[in-house]
Every structure is written in structure tokens, then in C-alpha cells.
Chains A and B, each alone.
Chain A
Amino acid sequence: MKKSPPGFRDLSRDWPPDEVTRLLARVTRPGRYAGGEFNTRVKAGARPRVVLSYPDVYEIGVSNPALQILYSQINDATPAFAERAYCPWPDMADLMRTAGVPLWTLETFAPVSTCDLWGFTLPHELCYTNVLEMLDLAGVPLHAAERDGEDPIVLGGGPAVANPWPLAPFFDAFFIGEVEDQLGAIIAAMEQDGREGRLQALAAVPGVWVPGRSAGPAQRQVFMGFSASQPVLRPVVPVLEAVHDRVVVEVMRGCTAGCRFCQAGMWYRPVRERPVDLVVEAADRLLDETGCDEVSLLSLSSCDYGPVAEALTRIRTLRPGLRVSLPSLRIDSAAQSLSGFAADQRGSITLAPEAGTQELRDTINKGVDERQFDEAVRATFKGGFTGLKLYFMIGLPGEADDDVLGIARMAGHATRLAKEIGKGRARVSVAVSSYVPKAHTPFELEPFAGEQALRRRQQLVRQAAPRGVRVAFHDVAASVVEATLARGGPGTDRLVEEAWRHGARFDGWSEHFDVRRWEEAAKATGIGLGEPRVARASWLDAVDARLSAGFFADELGRSRDGELTEDCRDGACSACGVCAGDIQMDLVT
């Protein structure tokens, strides 16, 4: 066993140690820190020891499908032992610091700092300060350059590493893309002697980018074995109430709808689908394994999964009364998809027109027309759903006031249909978030709308919204921080660290986000908020997303001309650059 970090007690002796039980007696929801879920694995004595983390509170992190994949694969298909740790809520963090108790793992209560490899999945920019909080609570030096042979190798992955610069100095390495094919090589690298040996071996793994060491960008890895592979069949099932209380079958990876604002739609190309037999069998086994009573067919756009209707029918036949959910409904196919829901599931659904006018929807390649919207809303209320939430963005490139007012017009149209068809029982609500341009998208170099413009457009929506429609807005100040980090170049890490030192944590939570901490950090570092150092060259230095610059230029031109680009699933190839050699679309035929 490696040393405990200086100033911290050794938690590895007893289970559960008294140091931990003393803290658990004093915090809200102590079960967040106690483990004990269904299907947890403990591989006593196995090496290397890996800790997997999601930098948010337990209830959010435990449901994350990426972490479930890693946990299953490492524990079940490699010699290594994977444990988990999530970000302690501030009440627990304060107590841990006062008592000198370092961050522990849920499986064995061992200090996280004693593992060989600490992997973070990084979902979005507003969790970056939580990464620093977890490193600090674990007693692991914040900066990779300050770590020694006793410290774990800290590896980052997930969609936010599309631009790793804001976190670069805090990580020893980043994995770019889908890790399944390279997990074995990463684990093998941890068996090398010494920190230097491990880092050298890690740097040689395809998809790994080591700041300051890698000679060029890491190429995004694509798991082409996805279609033939089994979904996670023994997921960890929380015993506390988590945000998602259901089993998940990932039916498809990637999306080629081509929405020009969508980073995930670009990042996870090409589309790969799992055969329907495999999906149905997995759903059946998962329900046995977990005891859950709801299954979600997961993907970026599950209505596009070729055999979605067959999958729904067969799962329902196998398990009558089971609740099946499709997490992302498309408006152009909503009428058909809604009929697949069981009668007792018809509560509330979300449709995402994204923009208020046809022109702007064409600009972003959403391609939904007013007739399709009308049909989808009618189908919603005719189908017995009593709640409809419409999701929009403001601050999109080329947006004018009339586009923003179009949000209110669409909400008004839906409200009239709710009254007409829903007979007074149906309600419409609207959620409006602020668009933040992201790296590796056709809009990656477009300007961020800025705080003033976003606040004015929010006010426009608020004033024009029909009576009786509840409108919720995303916090503009949080979007400003997100925009600053999303395209920040080298040096942006100083802003993250300074904000954390000023107390920023859980920035994705409205009750914890405090823009003053970020303003103080901006003052101290000279990095202006909302003025991202848009440096395409810098993120291309680190990440080769396999997307061609020519494709982005074409898409930007088409966007400005209001031209749509077909989904290459059924239409012409858009020459995005991803499909080459073994990497091709893999659809169920």
C-alpha cells in the first residue's frame, strides 16, 4: 500500500473506519459516501488500482453511462481493480478538511491518493472547479508537475476534452475519444516501473495526449467494435435515489443529423448501431440483474435508431407493463415515436425546436419546419400527454430579435393546441438556454453572443411569452463562464485555479454558482470573462477530432446561406472527414 498523503490519516486499515463514520454522522445524505450499491465489485489485492471519478455529486455521477462502461470493463475484463469516488458536497468537504480525512473510495474506503491511476470523465466546463476540489481533498498535488512517484497518474476523458487546455496542467494525460479499445493498453502502462515509465508507456497509447510531452495532437479514438459489443450488463445500481433510476441500453453511438451547434453530434461520429436482438436481450438481462422497472434506450437521438419501433415492441412483449423511455425525441419523427409509449407513461415530454424561426433553424441545420412542429404538438396532446416542455437556445449565430420573438410565437401556438386538444389539463412550459460555441463544430469560431445581448434577449422572450406559460432561463452568468472555458487556450487554467481558490465549486448548480468568484479570478489573472481566447490552433495542437477544416468551412457557408445539409445516414456524404479506412458508418440493415 502506498503512503497516505501528508497531513491525512490512513483510512486503509479498517472498514468502515471510525474517521469516516464520525463524518457520516454529521452530513446531509451520508449514503453518498458509503457505497454499498448492488453490483459493486471488490477485487482485493488486484493491481493496478484505478479510481474512476465523475466531478459532481454522487446522485449525478453514479448514473453516468461512461463511468459504468469503464467500471465494468476494467473490473471484469482486465486484471485491474476499479473503484469510484465522486465530488463531496460542500458540507462534507468542510468536515473532511477540518478532520484531516482524505477523499476515499466507495468500494474499500481506501484513500484515493493511493491508487495507481485516477480517471476523470469530464462532461462540461462547469464541473472543472470540482476536479480541483477533488484533487485537493484527496491530497494529490493540483499540478501534474508537482506530483511524484507516490501520486497517481491523473487521466482525463469525456466530451469536455475536445479542448483540454483549461485543465491541462492539472492532468498528467488526456484520453481523446472512445476508450474501449485502448483500456488494456492503459492498464498495462500502469504496470510499468515509476511515474516516468508509466507516463512514457501511456503517451504511446493511441488517443492519449500528454501535455508538454506529446509531439502532436492525439487522434480521437472511435470504438468500431461498438455494434458487436455487449452493453453494460452488470451496472452499479444505487441504493439511494439518483437522478436516473432506470437501466440503460446504449442502442446507438454517434449522430449524423448534423446540427451545426452540437459538439456531441460532431464528436461521436460515425453512427454505429447495435443489432436489435442484442438490444432486446441486454434489456431483459439488465432488468434481471438490477431489479429496475424502467429501461432507457440511450443514444444521442434514439428515434433515429433504425429498428427503434421493433426494439420497443419486442421489449414490451417480453416484459408487459415495463416502462421504456427514449431520452431524445426528434420533432420530425415525434408523432410516430410518441405512439410507442405506454399509457401510464404519458406524463410530460420535451421537444427541442432549438430556434424560434424557420430561417434560424435552417441556419443551425435543425431542419424542423412549422408543419412538423404543429404535428408533433398535436400528437403530444392527442396521445394523452399532459405536459409539453419546449427547449430553445438564444445567442445562436445570425440570430435577430424576430428569431427570439419566434420562441414566444411557437409557445403560443403550442398553448392554443393544449387548450384545444388537451382540454385544459395540458400545460406548456419553455426552457431557454444560452448558446455557447464549442470547439470542433462548424460554429467553433463564431462569436459568443455576450452577457448583455443574452440578457436583452431573455427579456424579449419574457415579455412576449403567452400568459400561463412558464419560461425558465439558464443563468447567463454561468454561460459566460462556460463560454470563456469552452474555447480557452493555454493559460485559461489559471482562471479555473484562481476561481477555485476563491471558493468556486459546483458551478453547474444554481445554489452554489457565484459569479463574483469568477470575477475575482478574472481580475487576478487578467483573463476577461466572456472573452474566450478563441485559439483554434491550440485545441488542434492537442486534439485531432478527425473532422476536416473544409467540412467546417462548407458548413459555415451553408449556414450563412440558410442551406440544409442532409443526414448522411440516408443522404449524400457531407465529407466531414470521419469515415476513412476501417472507420465507417455501421448501421443495422
Chain B
Amino acid sequence: MTWWLITFSRRGPARYLSHLDTARVVQRTFARAGVPIALSQGMRPKPRVSLPLPLPVGAAGEQELAVVEVPEGVEATTAVLKALRDASPPGFAPEEIADAGERHPRPQARAAEYACVLDGDAGAIAASVERYNDAEDAIRERVSPKGTRRLDLKDYAGDVVATPVEGGARVGFTIHHRSDGAARPQELIDLVAEWAQVEPVMRGLERLHITWE
């Protein structure tokens, strides 16, 4: 068996896929292209596909990564890449295949750069971003079925910039992935939007770049 690292982009209608939907699209695309995926062992074998860094629903991604195991003898050629591209649904595009060999690669993200548009007063959004950048801490509570966790967004989200655009501001930022986890883009935007008194809706969210360890 051999592991492949597939770099792909997710744009247009494909940006509205969930994490599980995206994994299924990868499987379907391989099946349509006639490229086999290795199956797990057990009573109900599953295709060996994983996406190491989930992309939020609604977000476009330029350099996303899928880890796929293929049977022995299947080679990562340009013809295979073309077949995968041809078999993909609109907005989903495999860009590159890297053969990682027999050892299961477990890529860890170190940081990811994002951008989105916030509708509303661009000046207020810029002031909110400046306030965030100047703040020593930005404590938020994350509520989940497991309980409530306090986290300082400043430990996880930085390089925040706001640029005026029609009807609002484009906000760029970097999320840092640490051993104890990461902030969610929505958590930063909720804070910026709250301070700017605009609706916390991330329009056109894009993940522009991922730095892998």
C-alpha cells in the first residue's frame, strides 16, 4: 500500500461542503476516475481517506490536503491527476499528488491564513481590528456539550488586518495551531464584529495558505 498527499482547491459551490461531504467527494472522485482507494480491515471496510485540517462550511480553500491510501502498483502520474480532475464535481479541483510512500503520513498544521468579508461600517471594523491587535488578551468562552472552556484568542489568532471593500471590510488573519488546539475563525470574527457592532457573518471566507509541520 502507498500513501498519497493530494493537494486540492475547494471553490464555488464546493465551498458549501461539510467536512464529511468533502471526504465523500474525494472517494466519489477517485471511483469515477477509476483510481482505487485501499480499504480498512474489518466487517465493514471503509476507504482510507482523511482530511487533516477540516475546512469550515462556506469556506473556500486554495491548498487543502487529503491523505489517501492506494493499493500497491497504483502510481501518482500526471494522467491519474488529469483523470481525477476530469471526474471532480464543479468547484473541487485536485491540484497535485505527492507520493508519501508506505508510511502513513500524519500532517499537522502549524498555521493557516484566512480572509473574509464583514458587511458594515469599514471604519468601525478597522477600529475593532486595531483594538484586537493592541489588546493584551482577548478571553472568550467556548461552550460545547463537554463543558465550557476559556481561551485567550490572542494565543491562537494574529496578523489581523482590515481593508475597506464595497459595503464593508475584508478581514485577513492567521490562526495558529498549537499542541493544545486552535481558535476557530468564527470565534475571532465574533469578537471583531461585536466590537465593531456589525453582524458576525463571514462572507466569502477563504483559507489562503496552510503551513504544515
Partner-B contacts on A (CB < 8 A):
16, 21-22, 24-26, 30-31, 34-38, 40, 237, 239-241, 287-293, 344
B100 at the interface (CB under 8 A from A): no
* Chain B residues, Cβ within 8 Å of A22: 119, 201, 203
Tell me the bound Cα distance from A288 to B34 in angstroms: 8
* Chain B residues, Cβ within 8 Å of A241: 20-21, 24
Q: Name the residue in B21, B43, B44 with the highest tally of chain A Cβ atoms < 10 Å from its Cβ.
A: B21
Assess whether B13 is in contact with A16, with CB atoms less than 8 Å apart.
yes
B195 at the interface (CB under 8 A from A): no
Tell me the bound Cα distance from A164 to B148 in angstroms: 55
- Give which listed residue, B29, B58, B89, B202, contacts A30 with CB less than 8 A: B58
Q: Name the residue in A21, A239, A240 with the highest tally of chain B Cβ atoms < 10 Å from its Cβ.
A: A239
- The 22 sampled A-B contact pairs (Cβ below 8 Å) are A22-B119, A22-B201, A25-B202, A25-B203, A26-B201, A31-B16, A35-B90, A36-B13, A36-B16, A36-B90, A36-B91, A38-B89, A239-B25, A239-B28, A240-B18, A240-B21, A241-B21, A288-B32, A290-B31, A291-B29, A291-B31, A293-B31
Assess whether A239 is in contact with B17, with CB atoms less than 8 Å apart.
yes
Tell me the bound Cα distance from A241 to B29 in angstroms: 15
- Give which listed residue, B87, B89, B202, contacts A37 with CB less than 8 A: B89
Assess whether B87 is in contact with A291, with CB atoms less than 8 Å apart.
yes
Give the residue name and chain of the B residue nearest to A40 (CB). Answer: B90
Q: Name the residue in A16, A38, A287, A293 with the highest tally of chain B Cβ atoms < 10 Å from its Cβ.
A: A38
- Give which listed residue, B21, B30, B32, B57, contacts A38 with CB less than 8 A: B32
Assess whether A290 is in contact with B119, with CB atoms less than 8 Å apart.
no
Decide: A239 near B201, CB < 8 A? Known: A36-B91, A40-B90.
no
Known: A36-B92, A239-B13, A291-B32. 13 other contacts (CB 8 A): A22-B201, A24-B58, A30-B16, A31-B13, A31-B16, A31-B18, A34-B13, A34-B15, A35-B13, A36-B13, A36-B16, A237-B89, A291-B27
* Chain A residues, Cβ within 8 Å of B43: 344
* Chain A residues, Cβ within 8 Å of B68: none
Assess whether B87 is in contact with A239, with CB atoms less than 8 Å apart.
no
Assess whether B28 is in contact with A290, with CB atoms less than 8 Å apart.
yes
* Chain A residues, Cβ within 8 Å of B17: 31, 239-240
Give the residue name and chain of the B residue nearest to A343 (CB). Answer: B43
Decide: A31 near B57, CB < 8 A? Known: A36-B13, A239-B89.
yes
Assess whether B89 is in contact with A36, with CB atoms less than 8 Å apart.
yes
The distance from the CB of A29 to the nearest CB of chain B, in whole angstroms, is 8
The distance from the CB of A234 to the nearest CB of chain B, in whole angstroms, is 11
B158 at the interface (CB under 8 A from A): no
- Give which listed residue, A25, A38, A40, A237, contacts B58 with CB less than 8 A: A25
Assess whether A34 is in contact with B16, with CB atoms less than 8 Å apart.
yes
- Chain B, residues 53-69, CB within 8 Å of chain A (1/0): the string is 00001100000000000
Q: 9 smallest A-B Cβ distances: which pairs?
A: A36-B13, A291-B31, A291-B28, A31-B16, A34-B13, A291-B32, A34-B16, A30-B16, A36-B90
The distance from the CB of B138 to the nearest CB of chain A, in whole angstroms, is 23
* Chain B residues, Cβ within 8 Å of A237: 28, 89
Tell me the bound Cα distance from A40 to B92 in angstroms: 14
Assess whether B30 is in contact with A291, with CB atoms less than 8 Å apart.
yes
Query: Interface residue count for B (Cβ, 8 Å)?
Result: 32
The distance from the CB of B15 to the nearest CB of chain A, in whole angstroms, is 8
* Chain A residues, Cβ within 8 Å of B15: 34
Partner-A contacts on B (CB < 8 A):
12-18, 20-21, 24-25, 27-32, 34, 43-44, 57-58, 87, 89-92, 119, 201-204
The distance from the CB of B88 to the nearest CB of chain A, in whole angstroms, is 8
The distance from the CB of A35 to the nearest CB of chain B, in whole angstroms, is 5
Assess whether A21 is in contact with B13, with CB atoms less than 8 Å apart.
no
Q: Name the residue in B14, B21, B32 with the highest tally of chain A Cβ atoms < 10 Å from its Cβ.
A: B32
* Chain A residues, Cβ within 8 Å of B44: 344
Tell me the bound Cα distance from A290 to B21 in angstroms: 15
* Chain B residues, Cβ within 8 Å of A38: 28, 32, 89
* Chain A residues, Cβ within 8 Å of B34: 288
Tell me the bound Cα distance from A289 to B18 in angstroms: 23
The distance from the CB of A217 to the nearest CB of chain B, in whole angstroms, is 43
Tell me the bound Cα distance from A288 to B91 in angstroms: 21
Tell me the bound Cα distance from A24 to B14 in angstroms: 13
- Give which listed residue, A25, A239, A287, A288, contacts B14 with CB less than 8 A: A239
Tell me the bound Cα distance from A432 to B27 in angstroms: 38
The distance from the CB of A233 to the nearest CB of chain B, in whole angstroms, is 13
Decide: A36 near B58, CB < 8 A? Known: A291-B31, A344-B44.
no
Tell me the bound Cα distance from A344 to B92 in angstroms: 32
Tell me the bound Cα distance from A287 to B16 in angstroms: 25
The distance from the CB of A18 to the nearest CB of chain B, in whole angstroms, is 8
* Chain A residues, Cβ within 8 Å of B31: 287, 290-293
Tell me the bound Cα distance from A40 to B119 in angstroms: 32
The distance from the CB of A30 to the nearest CB of chain B, in whole angstroms, is 5
* Chain B residues, Cβ within 8 Å of A26: 201
Assess whether A31 is in contact with B21, with CB atoms less than 8 Å apart.
yes
Assess whether B25 is in contact with A30, with CB atoms less than 8 Å apart.
no
* Chain A residues, Cβ within 8 Å of B57: 30-31
* Chain A residues, Cβ within 8 Å of B32: 38, 288-291
The distance from the CB of A17 to the nearest CB of chain B, in whole angstroms, is 12
* Chain B residues, Cβ within 8 Å of A292: 28, 31
Give the residue name and chain of the A residue nearest to B16 (CB). Answer: A31
Tell me the bound Cα distance from A292 to B31 in angstroms: 8
Tell me the bound Cα distance from A16 to B60 in angstroms: 13
Assess whether B14 is in contact with A36, with CB atoms less than 8 Å apart.
yes
* Chain B residues, Cβ within 8 Å of A25: 58, 201-203
Give the residue name and chain of the A residue nearest to B201 (CB). Answer: A25
Give the residue name and chain of the B residue nearest to A35 (CB). Answer: B13
The distance from the CB of B38 to the nearest CB of chain A, in whole angstroms, is 14
Give the residue name and chain of the B residue nearest to A15 (CB). Answer: B12
Q: Name the residue in B16, B18, B204 with the highest tally of chain A Cβ atoms < 10 Å from its Cβ.
A: B16
The distance from the CB of B92 to the nearest CB of chain A, in whole angstroms, is 8
The distance from the CB of A589 to the nearest CB of chain B, in whole angstroms, is 35
